[in-house]
Amino acid sequence: MKPHILDTLHQARNALDALLANPAALAAIGDAGDALVNAFRQGKRVFSCGNGGSMCDAMHFAEELSGRYRLNRKALPAASISDPSHISCVGNDYGYEAIFSRYLEAHAGQGDVLLAISTSGSSKNVLAAVKEAKALGMVVVALTGRAGSVIGELADIDVCTPGGQYADRVQELHIKVIHILIESVERELFPENYA
């Protein structure tokens, strides 16, 4: 067996063990789930954004809320900011830093929630989205990978999951958190799916 296979799995296990041993991060996950539940109960919408793999995670998060996670239930109003025509238009006219914030300006409002995903916690376009969300009176949940990041500091709730030297371990923890958030929403709003 190639040694990097076991090394990678051990690193992933160590990152997960570190998250399990972090009471502040676990509490933040619970708070983030509550924020999502409260928004949906009030008829508000949830938006998500990120770059690269984090955009894929933002899309995954939104589609499992508007589509389904495990069992059938009512669709929930969630959208990732990932429309290529919007991104190319705004990127061309206003610059790449505005691709997420401009979308929120057009579609979001007070009491909506933004899930802002950035492994570094410093992505400029995600930061611009966080600032716009705060100006709109949205609740901002950050999903980051570095403690004390600028995005995490601005967010109402920072779910910080340091995973090691590289972003891939952080992303692996992010998808676990995303699934927990979706399950948290379903358990509150659709308890029959967990009976």
Q: What pLDDT score does 3 carry?
A: 85
Residues of the chain with pLDDT under 50: none
Query: Binding site annotation covers 120?
Result: yes
The answer to whether 179 is a known ligand-binding residue is yes
**What does the alpha-carbon distance between residue 100 and residue 9 come to, in Å, rounded to a whole number?**
34
Q: Report whether 123 belongs to an annotated binding site.
A: yes
Closest CA to 129 of 110, 108, 157: 108
- Tens of pLDDT, residues 42-62: 999 999 999 999 999 999 999
| 22 is annotated as contributing to ligand binding | no
Assigned superfamily of 3-194:
Glucose-6-phosphate isomerase like protein; domain 1 (3.40.50.10490)
Annotated ligand binding at 111? The verdict is no
Q: What is the rounded CA–CA span in Å between residue 106 and residue 176?
A: 30
User: Which pLDDT value is given to residue 133?
Assistant: 98
Kindly report the average pLDDT of the chain as a whole number: 97
Question: Does the annotation list 171 as a binding residue?
Answer: yes
pLDDT of residue 166: 82
Q: Is 51 annotated as a binding residue?
A: yes
Classify residue 70 by its DSSP letter. Answer: S
Q: Determine the pLDDT at residue 51.
A: 98
